[in-house]
């Protein structure tokens, strides 16, 4: 069970990621706002102790790995990597810049702390499986975490991977599906309705949980449950809202990659600053 202090501290991390992500977008005037915002809480939990890593030794062999298969959520990942000290904040200015180290989609060859190059949706599960199998062959106790989108689950390659992982009982593979109900071209129910994603994974013999993807403690507890499983891979389906926490993006249909005005982003950053200040105040009171 998490303590109240842990809950309050986690919320500070959540609001910090959201603020830094928005500040990074502000320099561009466009970006993958929707999918970055909906995965913030999961990244906060992972990089607050669940994912074993060392910013001072990013290639540490014993580290856990993260495959951000929905690579367009890279800006949120960059935010927490920066906050955790993998690279200086000044580097955030390189997002989407030619020759920069922070491309629109994650690239392991350009960004310190990124474990796998991603962006071609559907392929991340295959690379995550390869990493998990490699860890097993090396007798490593490292976990492999995988973050996919719900629209991404339209891809057949995802389900080939799901079958393969279950057959090989990859219990140290923990996947998240960001079920924000939207994809590039609209709402998932209107493009290919996935129905109950959790039930589909369960039918393929995965350990399955569905949680509120904007509740850090629910996510933390779900990871703890997944780590108890010894004979199958696990999936945590995150019930989320695309663009969550950003007024000009939340609930907007065309929020996958969007342009925004200076006024819109300034207001969003101001709101995020206020939420962070409030979270810090609560955390200080609860210390």
At residue 1, the pLDDT reads 58
Asked if residue 42 lies in contact with residue 61, where contact means CB atoms within 8 angstroms, the answer is no
Structure token digits, residue 31: 């970006």
Q: Taking residues 98-102, what's their average pLDDT?
A: 94
Taking the C-alpha atoms of residue 235 and residue 147, their distance in angstroms, rounded to an integer, is 10
At residue 62, the pLDDT reads 96
Structure token digits, residue 145: 């975490």
Reported as a pLDDT band with limits 50, 70 and 90, residue 251 is confident
The pair phi, psi for residue 229, each rounded to 5°, is -80, 130
Structure token digits, residue 114: 């990124």
Domains held by the chain: number: 1
Residue that the structure tokens 């949120």 belong to: 76
- CATH classification of the domain holding 127: 3.40.50.970
Q: Which string of b and e fits 21-42 if b means at least 16 CB within 10 Å?
A: bbbbbbebeebbbbbbbbbbbb
Asked if residue 128 lies in contact with residue 67, where contact means CB atoms within 8 angstroms, the answer is yes
Q: Taking residues 105-124, what's their average pLDDT?
A: 97
Of residues 286 and 186, more confidence is placed in: 186
Asked if residue 147 lies in contact with residue 67, where contact means CB atoms within 8 angstroms, the answer is yes
Is residue 151 predicted with pLDDT exceeding 70?
yes
What are 133-144's pLDDT values in tens digits? 999 999 999 999
Taking the C-alpha atoms of residue 89 and residue 111, their distance in angstroms, rounded to an integer, is 13
Which residues, in sequence order, are CB contacts of 143 under 8 Å at separation 6+? Answer: 51, 52, 64, 65, 172, 173, 174, 227
What are 186-197's pLDDT values in tens digits? 999 999 999 999
Query: In the chain, pLDDT over 70 holds for what percent of residues?
Result: 99
At residue 3, the pLDDT reads 87
Residue that the structure tokens 């499983």 belong to: 229
Taking the C-alpha atoms of residue 138 and residue 222, their distance in angstroms, rounded to an integer, is 27
DSSP secondary structure, 206-247, as one string = -EEEEEETT-HHHHHHHHHHHTT--SS-EEEEEE--TTTT-T
Q: Taking residues 260-273, what's their average pLDDT?
A: 97
Is residue 54 predicted with pLDDT exceeding 70?
yes
Range of the domain at 237: 4-286
Taking the C-alpha atoms of residue 76 and residue 21, their distance in angstroms, rounded to an integer, is 6
Is residue 108 predicted with pLDDT exceeding 70?
yes
């Amino acid at each position: 069970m998490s303590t109240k202090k842990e809950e309050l501290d986690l919320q500070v991390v959540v609001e910090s990621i959201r603020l830094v992500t928005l500040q990074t977008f502000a320099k561009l005037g466009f970006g993958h706002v929707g999918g970055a915002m909906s995965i913030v809480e999961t990244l906060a939990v992972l990089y607050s102790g669940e994912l074993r890593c060392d910013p001072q030794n990013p290639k540490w062999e014993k580290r856990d790995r993260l495959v951000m298969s929905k690579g367009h959520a890279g800006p949120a990942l960059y935010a927490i990597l920066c906050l955790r000290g993998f690279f200086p904040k000044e580097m955030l200015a390189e997002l989407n810049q030619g020759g920069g180290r922070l491309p629109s989609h994650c690239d392991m060859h350009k960004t310190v702390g990124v474990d796998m190059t991603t962006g071609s949706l559907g392929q991340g599960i295959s690379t995550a499986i390869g990493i998990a199998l490699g860890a097993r062959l090396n007798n490593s106790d490292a976990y492999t975490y995988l973050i996919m989108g719900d629209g991404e689950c339209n891809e057949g390659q995802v389900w080939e991977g799901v079958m393969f992982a279950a057959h090989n009982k990859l219990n140290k593979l923990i996947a998240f599906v960001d079920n924000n109900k939207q994809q590039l071209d609209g709402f998932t129910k209107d493009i290919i309705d996935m129905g109950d994603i959790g039930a589909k994974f369960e039918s393929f013999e995965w350990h399955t949980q569905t949680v509120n993807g904007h509740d850090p403690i629910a996510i933390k507890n779900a990871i703890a449950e997944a780590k108890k499983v010894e004979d199958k891979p696990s999936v945590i389906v995150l019930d989320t809202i695309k663009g969550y926490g950003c007024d000009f993006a939340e609930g907007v249909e065309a929020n996958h990659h969007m342009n925004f005005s200076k006024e819109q982003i300034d207001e969003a950053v101001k709101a995020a600053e206020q939420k962070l200040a409030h979270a810090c105040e609560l955390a200080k009171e609860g210390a």
